[in-house]
Amino acid sequence: MMTTGAGILVAGTALALALLLPLIVRPLLFKAGMFDVPNARSSHQSPTIRGMGITTAVALVAALLVAVFAPQGNVDPERARATLIVILLVALCAAAIGWVEDVRGLGIKVRASLQLGVGALATAAVAIIDPGAQQLWWIPAGAIAVAAYINVTNFMDGINGISGTHGLLVGGFYAFAGVLTDLQWLVYAGVAIACAFAGFLPWNLGKNKVFLGDVGSYLLGAAIAVTAMAAFLAKVPVEYIFSPVLVYLVDTFVTFLRRLLAGERWYASHRQHVYQRLNIVGLSHLQATGVVCLATVLVSILGIVAAQGERPVQILATAACVLVVLAYLRTPTWFQRLLRSRAGKNVSS
C-alpha cells in the first residue's frame, strides 16, 4: 500500500505550506484591501480578510505535485500520475476563477460558463485516462457535477471552520477509501486535500481570523468533485465517494428547493442553510460546524459499513444514514427549543 515516506511527504508538504504561507500572504491581502465586509446576510460582525484560500491552493497543488512523482503502488503508474495531474490542474483552474471573483467579481453567466468549462475538460481528461469511461455523455454529466459541487462548497462556506473541516474530513475519508481499494493516487489526493485544508483551520479559527474567499471554496469544491469523479470511474464503491459529501449536498439541495418554491432568487446571498440557521438560533460558529462535522462523520462511517456489509447490513446502514440526514435537517428546530427551554429555566430561577 502507500509508501510511508511518500505519504508523509505529501501530507507534510500540504500542511506546512498551508500553515506557513499565510504569514507572508496575510499582510499582502491586508495591504490590498481584501476584506469581506459584513452585511445583513453575513454570519460575522466585523470586516475580515478574505482570499486566504490562495495559500491553501498553493499548498494543495504543491502536495499533488509531490504525489505525481511518488510511488503509485500496484496500479498503472502512468494512469495514476495522469489522474493526479488532472486533479492538480482542475484545482488550479478553479482557484484561479475564484481568485478573479474575489478581486474583481464575475457575472453569473461568465462564472457558470467557466465552471462548466473546467468540469467538461476535467471529465474529458479523466475519460481519456480511463479506457472504460470513454463515452460522450460523461462529459456534460461531469461538467455539471464539478460545477455543481463548486457552487455547493461556495454556498456552504458561511461560518468559521466549516470549509476547513469539510476538506479535512472528505479528504481523510477519500484517503481511507484509497487504502481500502488499493488505489495509491486516491490516498495521495485525499491526504493532500485533508492536510491543505487542515492547515487553513488555525488561521480561520484563531484570534485574527481570515476567510478562504471564493478562491478557497472553489478550490475545495473542484478538488473534491474531480477526485470523486475519477474514483467513481476507477470503480471505487459509490458509498465511499458519496457518503462524505452527502450532508453538504442535502443541505444545499433542500435550501435551494425551499427558496425556489418561495419564488426567491436561488443564487442570491441568504442565511437559510441548516448550518446558518443553527447559528441564528444561538449556536456559535464552532458549535454549528461541529453539528455538520458530526453528521458528516456518521454518514461516512455508515457508507463504509454499507459498502462492506452483506445485504441486511447494507439496508440497515442505508436506513441509518437516511435517519442521520433527516435528523441533521431538524437540528435548528431542536436546538432552538433546547436553548429557549434553558433560557426559560434561567429566568424562572
Q: Are 217 and 204 in contact (CB under 8 A)?
A: no
Residue 131 and residue 261 in one domain:
no
- Are 29 and 169 contained in the same domain? yes
Confidence check: pLDDT of 344 > 80: no
DSSP code, position 244:
G
If asked whether residues 196 and 259 sit together in one domain, one would say: no
Contacts of 134 (CB under 8 A, 6+ apart): 127, 128
State which of 236, 265, 283 marks the end of a domain. Answer: 236
What is the dihedral sign for C-alpha 341, 343, 345, 347?
A: negative
Same-domain check for residues 324 and 200: no
> Mean pLDDT across the stretch 120-130?
85
If one counts the domains in the chain, the total is 2
Q: Are residues 196 and 271 in the same domain?
A: no
* pTM of the complete model: 0.94
192 and 260, same domain (yes or no): no
The DSSP bridge partners found for residue 36 are: 48
**Quick one: 208 and 280 in the same domain?**
no
pLDDT given at position 218? 98
In a domain? residue 241: no
The pLDDT tens digits of the residues spanning 243-297 come to 999 999 999 999 999 988 888 876 677 789 999 999 999 999 999 999 999 999 9
- Shared domain check, 254 and 209: no
In a domain, 37, yes or no: yes
* Beta carbons of 224 and 194 less than 8 angstroms apart: no
Q: Per residue in 135-163, pLDDT tens?
A: 667 788 889 999 999 999 999 998 999 99
Of 165, 166, 170, the residue nearest 186 (C-alpha)? 170
Q: Residue 333: CB partners within 8 Å, gap ≥ 6?
A: none
Lookup: cell for 75: 496500479
Q: Show the domain range for 321.
A: 246-344
Q: Which phi and psi angles does 210 have, rounded to 5°?
A: -135, 160
